[in-house]
Amino acid sequence: MNQSNLGKFIQILSRNYSEELWSELVYENAMLLADSLAESDWNKLTKIWTIKNISWQRKFADVLSAVDSPSACTVLIDMLSSDNDEVLEEVVDSLHSILQSNIHKFSLTNSQREKLLSFLERCGRLYKPKVELLLNSPN
């Protein structure tokens, strides 16, 4: 059976990898698969990311920073609703990368801004410059 690109993408993110293997090989494959996803695939990912484990969500947010699709940015903004600080760290890093690269424009709702402020209070100085840049991005 020929597995869809969405199925392959979900499967790649579901496996455990060493940090070295993830950053050298698997990340690139995941990024290429994500670049090939259709809008219907992004809609499915928007619905399922919340039920995946923290490791999967972190890898997902990491990959989305390098995907040339407005849908990836939309999912990342949706991921600001996460209650897990590890996931939020990846989301903030990815949104910061997107903002710095000027690939996609995005705006944040007031509730997303409040979520970022709350995250900033918990995570302190390390993420302050990135969060402030996101908070100061145009609405």
Q: Residue 2 pLDDT more than 60?
A: no
Domains along the chain with CATH numbers: 5-135 (1.25.10)
- Start-to-end CA span in the chain (Å): 46
Mean pLDDT of the chain: 87
Q: Kindly report, residue by residue over 37-82, the tens digit of the pLDDT.
A: 999 999 999 999 999 999 999 999 999 988 888 888 889 989 988 9
Which is more confidently placed, 118 or 62? 62
- Residue 17, Cβ neighbours under 10 Å: how many? 16
Q: Distance between CA atoms of 63 and 79, rounded to whole angstroms? A: 13
- pTM for the full model? 0.85
Residue 1 is predicted with a pLDDT of 40
Residue 137 is predicted with a pLDDT of 77
Mean pLDDT, residues 102-128: 81
Residue 56 is predicted with a pLDDT of 95
Among residues 68, 9, 80, the alpha carbon closest in space to that of 44 is found at 9
